[in-house]
Structure 1
Amino acid sequence: MNKINIGIVAHVDAGKTTVTENLLYLGGVIKKAGRVDNGNTVTDSMELERKRGITIKSSVISFNWKNVKINILDTPGHADFVAEVERSLSVLDGAVLVVSAVEGVQAHTLMLFKVLKKLKLPTVIFINKLDRSGANYKRVIEEMKKVLSPNIIGVQNAHKQGTHELEVERPYSYNSMGEIIESLCDIDDKFLEAYINDEKIERAYVKQRIQFKARDAKLYPVLIGSALKEIGMQDLMEAVVKYLPYSKGNEESMLSGVVFKIDNSKMNNKKTYVRLFNGKINVRDKLSIFGKENDEKVKRIDALLNGRNLESETLRAGDIGILYGIKGAKIGDIVGLRDKKIKAINLAEPVLKAKIIPLNEHENIRLYEAILMLAEEDPLLKYEASEDQKDIYLNFFGEVQMEVVKAILESKYNIKVKFEKALTIYKETPQKAGTAVTHIFTAENPFYAGIGIKVEPIKRGEGIKYVSDVTTGYLPKTFQNGIEDGVYEALTQGLYGWELTDIKVTLIHGAFDSVMSTPAEFRNLAPMVLMEAVNNAKTQLLEPLYEFELKINEEVCGRAISDLTRLRAKFDNPIQLNKDILLQGLIPVNTSRDYNLEVASYTGGKGMFVTKFYGFHEIQFKLGETREKHKIDPLNKKMYIMYKRNVLKR
């Protein structure tokens, strides 16, 4: 049986989950399509999702249609969960992009389409909600051609849109063929040549060219309808198997797959979701995880079959399945060998940080353990904790994600929490090279270890590089591992309280006592030496930047340019798009956190302000923020040593 792994993506309130429910209904998985308003949808299985009416976690479900197995990933629609969407799309064969016929292209639509285009993912577009007042599918198609891609082609017509009497013609009807041929001539050179040469253009040939281009992600066919009224859904289903490529994979090739989702909803029953590109996995197989030393034994496999997860003996190439017993796997891990089909993606990075506090002060440890579980399911939910786990900080994409984490902790773990005011995340980097050496057996060093460290700045965006100029023959590997652990731990808190980045750390000296030294002695000393070197180098504050696109009517262009200047944005000359203006550039995260609301206000909801994390850039100290240090500062050597020797308790 052929297989297709597809994702359903959309901006908020485009009707994505209702579309998914209708596809499951047509596929025979459910007896009736659920409704978000009624809280009875299949894919939004979390109580929190049903309560809020939004998708929070990607869910996977399968059904068959005309001898094709279709695995559907229903992905979140809110911008705060864009990383979950990118992670899901990276393992798929194609996608369905849902757009509202009333609201049209939204800022999040543009963001999603950029991801689809970057991944070269074949995509079918479905314009939904044609029955609603104000619906205009032709206007939306023209808007998509301008904003998303000129290679968008509608294949259907509708009548009485915006009413309950909505009628949608079948694709390639007699009434729509003229527009389809005209649009295809603009997109397909081979078709244009045949048209110019007066060759006879059969309907079958038009369908063939659109199918060929669509499966190669060089054309995006548009279907129309109303999921709520169950209009146009069968046409969409047929478009999925017609325009999206089948999953390819060789069971006899070397094993290659990727972990894209982890579910810890049931204690001691970790579910590891894997998309398998090549090879096959059997129960009791030992799997190698790329880059990790220890193999993992598969204790059980669940196959996705007709809306259910059924125990199976084998997961085969091209399919998605759930593995049990894989304790050490993390999201993004490669199972077996890296295959060229595994897409490399740069996930968005959280830009906000907030301290999380349990309302019951005695639940700190329980909260810390719950955060560990949540972070395993979402690798971008980074956390920091003080040595005693009393102070816990989480990184976020936005306020909605903060509310969701708060609700999950209460509903799933019975822990009520509050957040302090969210801060924009800054970082630090060395201004110049700095060196520090602490020798063994000296009065100021109570640890049985000697360490020398050099720090220096490196190119922006390169992160952290750690190297050792000390041979393992001179300083044993176990002691060097202790130093490295201590260095990485200390790098989370610089001179101004922010994480250090774009830094090269070199171990230049090491000394030990053959009787008294342990890896822990080196691990404890390393932060003191590292931070002394950092203090000698001094640090430069870095602020996070968004890459932005602002599309507004030309009448408010002056206001927009004035705003961007005030917000310290750097942008190119305006681009004229008929009566609209497009402005592109870089803008600080801290100054633009709520600017999308301003744009919506002064454009009457018609403007679009789309942002994507770009990176960090130097900033004058007076324009940035410092942060209270949440761990014992190694530069305060007396207090740090007392803490490490268990004399001082926070």
Structure 2
Amino acid sequence: MEIINIGILAHVDAGKTTVTEHLLYKSGSIKKLGRVDDGDTQTDSMELERSRGITIKASTIAYEWKGVKVNIIDTPGHMDFIAEVERSLRVLDGAVLVISAREGIQSQTRIILEILMQMKIPTVIFINKLDRMDADSQKVIDELKTEMLVKLVPIHKAIDEGTKNVRIENTILDNYVDEDVYEILSDLDNSILKKYINEEAITFEEVWQSICKYSKEGSLYPVFMGVALSGLGIEELLDGINKCLPTTNNCGEGEVSGVVYKIARSNDNQKLAYIRMYRGTIKLRDTFKVMEGETIDKITKIQVFRNGKLCETNKLMGGDMGIISGLNHFRIGDIIGSPNEKIKNPSLTRPTLRVKVSVHEKENKNKLFNGLLELAEEDPLLECDIDLIENEVYISIFGEIQMEIIKDLLSSKHGIDLNFSEVMTIYKETIIQKESASANMFGRTNPFYAAVDFEVEPLKRGEGLKYVSQVSSGYLSKSFQNAVEEAVFQTCRQGIYGWEITDVLITFKDAIYDSVMSTPSDFRNLTPMVLMEAIYKAKVKLLEPIYEFHLKVPNEAGSRVVVDLQNMRATFSETGSMDNQFYIKGYIPIETSKNYNIKLASFTEGKGIFYTKFYGYIDLPEDVIKSKSKYGLDPLNKRKYLLQKSSAIKN
């Protein structure tokens, strides 16, 4: 059977989960429709999802339609859970992007569509909620064309839109082709271009085949319409997914290759690895180890998604998705078997907010640590920092909704009552110039049986932290080399001001060891002192996270928003006016623009729109200093560092 692995994506409240529910129902995979408002949909299975009416975790389910199996990943629509969307995108063959006909293109819609276009993931667009008052599908289409520069072909036309009597006409399928469609297809299809120029007849079959072909390539976006809540347009969408998105054969041949795209826990706390298989077959009792790892895991259970249910089986074949038990050392992103060129690595954003977590009862500290580590296993971007000296815990988050969910999850699952400190922005550190530092064995400030030499060099913004060893593994053994590398990345988690170090190339230049006395611990303990000395000499500067923004307001509010944005240290890339709307595009610090969307809605009576998406880090003005308390030992304070290390060694 052919398989399509798709994601259902949308801005929050566009109707994404309702679309998924009706695809399952119309295909016959479920016998009873659930509703988000009633908390009984198939994909929102967590109690918190049912009570809040939002998707928090990406969930996978499957249906069959006309001989094709479709695995669906229903993703969250709220920006605070964008990491769930990112992890889903890497394993998709195609996508369905749901847009509300009333609200139109919203912030999350823009972010998702941009990344779908960049990754060339074939996508079908479904304009939902045609029955809502003020629904305007044509406005959505125009916005997609003019603002997102999308090449799209409307398959449907809405009649009596904005009323309960709304219906759809299949323009393309009823052999009615608008002139715009010929022009769009002519840009992609030379055979249609030739006939169009020569004014030759172009058959409906040629048009439809061209739409399907270029949709499967990710060059064209067919647009379907309907009302998911009533089922209008769902059958047409089922056909569209089969025809316009690429299929893969369920083939078990070749070397095993798959990837873990989600980690969860069963009711009895067993680790569950969600796998997308690309080729080969994995079977019960097969053994695998994480790439470059040593520990071997044995598969104890395999489940596949089938017609709205999970079914236990004895194998999982290439092209399909499933849940594997027994891979206890595997994490999200780990490869099963050998790598595959089809595995994508999108990077939509990183958490830019940080908050301290505390508990009311001291005896719950261990519960808190364990609960957060379990959540971090399911969401690697949560990034827990545990200060064992001060006995404090910090987590990195995307927003306050995510913070509320974390609190609810730990309360319901572990019985922990949490407190959060005020949310702070996450800054980063980098260096200004190239420098080096070294330590001689048995030097005055080096009690370790090791000597190291490091060089640090600034990189371009956004390149991250890179490490290179120029020390031959034939000279310095793998265990010593690993100890140095681990210490380098651990040390760079907090720099001079306490923030993570980035955009730096660290080169391990030289080393000396004693063949009898030296241990990996000597190199692990010495590395932080020497590396931080080099970073200190290279002069550190701070970086702040910024958004790329797009603001639209009525013309009369234009002068006020310009002043507001200037006060928030925004920089403008484009300004203008269109249809009595003043717009500005540019970049703005996250710290200064917190909650500006609420302020904007207030003085524009809800007419102002402030879209933002994470852009990256830029230099913080020199007169602004942002620091945070450090946890653990500070290698720059060599006297205290050595005293504590010596004490630990003696103990």
TM-score normalised to the size of structure 1? 0.92
Q: Once the 2 structures are TM-superposed, how far is the Cα of residue 87 of structure 1 from its aligned partner?
A: 1.8
Q: What is the aligned partner in structure 2 of residue 281 from structure 1?
A: 282
Which of 171, 178, 181 is residue 181 of structure 1 equivalent to? 178
- Equivalent residues in 2 for 1:350-499 (5 A)? 350-387=351-388, 390-442=391-443, 444-471=445-472, 475-499=476-500
Deviations 1:239-281 (A, max 9, x none): 2112222125753233222211111244552111111122222
Name which of structure 1's ranges 253-262 and 549-558 shifts more when overlaid on structure 2: 549-558
**Are residue 343 (structure 1) and residue 340 (structure 2) matched?**
no
- How has the CA–CA distance of structure 1 residues 196 and 505 changed in structure 2, closer, same or farther, with 3 Å as cutoff? closer
Contact 1:368 1:389 in 2 (8 A): no
* Residue ranges of structure 1 left out of the alignment (5+ in a row): none
Q: Cα distance, 1:120 vs. partner?
A: 1.1
CA contact 1:249–1:279 (8 Å) conserved in 2: no
CA contact (8 A) 1:87 1:347 kept: no
CA distance in 2 between partners of 1:502 and 1:626 (Å): 18
Once the two structures are TM-superposed, the CA of residue 417 in structure 1 deviates from its matched residue by 1.3
Give the direction of change, closer, same or farther, for the CA distance of 1:527–1:20 in structure 2 (3 Å limit).
same
Root-mean-square deviation over aligned CA pairs: 2.7
- Write the distance in 2 (CA, Å) between the matches of 1:197 and 1:299: 64
Q: Structure 1 residues 208, 357: closer, same or farther in 2, change over 3 A?
A: same
Q: Which residue of 1 aligns with 2:231?
A: 230
1:54-69 alignment to 2 at 5 Å?
Answer: 54-69=54-69
- Write the distance in 2 (CA, Å) between the matches of 1:503 and 1:207: 51
**What is the aligned partner in structure 2 of residue 148 from structure 1?**
148
Alpha carbons of structure 1 residues 304 and 388: separation in structure 2 relative to 1, 3 Å: farther
Give the direction of change, closer, same or farther, for the CA distance of 1:524–1:198 in structure 2 (3 Å limit): closer
Q: Deviations over 1:522-568 (max 9, x none)?
A: 32232223223333333111112223333445554434433332222
Q: What is the match of residue 320 of structure 1?
A: 321
8 A Cα contact 2:388 2:631, kept in partner: no
**Residue 290 of structure 1 contacts residue 338 of structure 1 at CA under 8 Å; is this kept in 2?**
no
Give the structure 1 partner of residue 610 of structure 2: 609
Contact 1:40–1:50 under 8 Å retained in 2: yes
Per-residue CA distance 1:575-606 (angstroms, 9 max, x = gap): 56555455333322222232333444455444
Rounded Cα–Cα distance in structure 2 between residues aligned with 1:10 and 1:449: 55
Query: Retained in 2: the 8 A contact 1:102–1:129?
Result: yes
Give the 3 Å change call, closer, same or farther, for CA 64–634 of structure 1 in structure 2: same
Question: Is the 8 Å Cα contact of residues 389 and 632 (structure 2) preserved in structure 1?
Answer: no
Q: Conserved in 2, the CA contact under 8 Å of 1:430 and 1:538?
A: yes
CA distance in 1, matches of 2:533, 2:199: 79
> How many Å apart are 1:426 and its aligned residue?
0.9
Query: How far has the Cα of 1:460 moved from its partner?
Result: 2.6
Unaligned runs of 5+ in 2: none
In 1, are the aligned partners of 2:115 and 2:348 still within 8 Å (CA)? no
Partner of 2:94: 94
Quick one: structure 1 residues 432 and 316, their matched pair in 2 at CA, closer, same or farther if it must change by over 3 Å? Answer: same
Q: What is the rounded CA distance, in whole Å, between the counterparts of 1:262 and 1:615 in structure 2?
A: 27
Question: Which stretch shifts more, 639-648 or 238-247?
Answer: 639-648
Alpha-carbon contact 1:184-1:191 (below 8 Å) kept: no
The equivalent residue for 1:76 is: 76
Deviation at 1:345, TM superposition (A): 1.5
Quick one: structure 1 residues 457 and 167, their matched pair in 2 at CA, closer, same or farther if it must change by over 3 Å? closer
CA distance in 1, matches of 2:76, 2:269: 26
Q: Which residue identity does 1:335 align to in structure 2?
A: I
Contact 2:284 2:299 in 1 (8 A): yes
Aligned to 2:136: 136
The residue number in structure 2 matching 1:619 is 620
Could you tell me which amino acid in structure 2 is paired with residue 572 of structure 1? S
CA distance in 1 between counterparts of 2:489 and 2:321 reads 36
Residue matched to 2:221: 220
Distance 1:456 1:141, change over 3 A: closer
TM-score, normalised with respect to structure 2: 0.92
Q: What is the distance in 2 between the residues matched to 1:249 and 1:557?
A: 56
* Equivalent in the alignment of 2:160: 160
1:429 partner SS: strand
The number of residue pairs the alignment matches comes to: 645
1:452-497: per-residue Cα shift (whole Å, max 9, x none)? 4443333332322333444456554433433333332221121111
- Counterpart-to-counterpart distance in 1, 2:485 and 2:291: 22
For 2:49 and 2:320, the matched residues in 1 are separated by 27
More off after superposition, 211-220 vs 287-296:
287-296
Q: Deviations over 1:295-335 (max 9, x none)?
A: 54322211111111111122112111112211222212222
Contact kept in structure 2, 1:127 and 1:222, CA below 8 Å: yes
* Mean CA deviation greater in 198-207 or 152-161: 198-207
Percent of aligned pairs with the same amino acid: 46
8 Å contact kept, 1:86–1:115: no
The list of structure 1 runs, each at least 4 consecutive aligned residues, that deviate by more than 6 angstroms after superposition, is: none
Distance 2:508 2:208 in 1: 64
Is the Cα contact below 8 Å between 1:428 and 1:542 reproduced in 2? Answer: yes
TM-superposed deviation, 1:44: 0.4
Counterparts of 1:138 and 1:538, CA distance in 2: 55
Report the counterpart of residue 209 of structure 2 in structure 1.
Answer: 208
Shift of 1:509: 5.1
Letter of the structure 1 residue corresponding to residue 164 of structure 2: H
